[in-house]
Amino acid sequence: MRFWILCSLILCLPGLIQPVHADPQPASADKSAQTNALQQELEQQIEELSERIKAAPRETALYSRRGDAYFFLGQFKQAVADYDKMVELDPSIKTSHWRRGIACYYAKQYADAARQFEIYHSFDNVDRENGIWRFFSQFQAKGPEAAQKGLLKYEKDDREPFPDLYRLFEGKTTPDAILKAINAAEISDQEREKRLFYANLYIGLNESLHGRKAKARTYLQQAVDNQWGPRAGFGPNYMWHTGRLELQLISTPENQK
């Protein structure tokens, strides 16, 4: 999402917004230790933010940060509750609160998620990333045919690689074609890394949605290993965590298929 543009959405006040970044690690690093360290950091953040909320219960930015921490921990219903509290305190952010839509999706509140992405479209009718999430939500709530028919329409250009990614959901291209185009493009290494991050993330999420868990894990692992998202911060960092959580969810023993 256009998180770096929509700073007002997360109330970027100095000293209040401190996203949890994933530092680049060697391939040989102990992933279990990294996961435990991240979990401890997030739990500490939640504890500290909860104390601050007691002292300032109407401070929207505190609920924003705690909601993110809950989401990154995989505590999706708690994240939705904090994002809902933000909207209660400041109704003006309801339309643009895409993080609430993603949290609703993972809390399996699919109709609420779809509605959040629908109203976001009235706020930003260029962002195809939002349209992809509405597709995901509609797919879960109403099935694949309804999701396909209900794809939001876009007329203006969007940032790469989202035009091609959206064509994937329209059934007009393939994962291989998207990735080949990115690798063949005459762009900087950083721009290529960014595009590959989003491509692998959303191709992986789509494979997971359709139950192709082995393929999904391959793409999502590449997205998680890509360090552009954590370095970029804000929205890309949030989406990096989303990929990490999806990979974690489909890598449990019952999903090893």
CB contact at 8 A, 72 and 20: yes
21: left (phi over 0), alpha (psi -120 to 50) or beta: beta
**Hey, what amino acid is at 147?**
A
Domains in the chain (CATH in brackets) are: 1-11+32-155 (1.25.40.10), 159-257 (no CATH)
pLDDT attached to residue 32? 81
**pLDDT given for residue 2 in this prediction:** 57
Coil/strand/helix, residue 125 = coil
How many angstroms separate the CA atoms of 110 and 76, rounded? 13
Q: Whole-angstrom distance between the N-terminal and C-terminal Cα of the chain?
A: 31
Q: Nearest to residue 57, comparing CAs of 104, 11, 89?
A: 89
Considering just the CA atoms, what is the radius of gyration of the chain in Å? 18
What's CA 193's distance to the chain center, in Å? 17
Render the burial of 20-36: b for 16+ CB within 10 Å, e for the rest.
Answer: bbbeeeeeeeeeeeeee
How much is the pLDDT for 18? 43
The pLDDT averaged over each successive group of 10 residues in the chain (257 residues) is 43 38 50 88 98 98 98 98 98 97 98 97 94 98 96 93 97 98 98 98 98 98 96 94 97 75
Residue type, 247: L
Please tell me whether residue 13 adopts helix, strand or coil conformation.
coil
pLDDT value at position 33? 87
- Distance separating alpha carbons of residues 78 and 16, to the nearest angstrom: 20
The pLDDT of residue 126: 94
Return the amino acid letter for 236. Answer: P
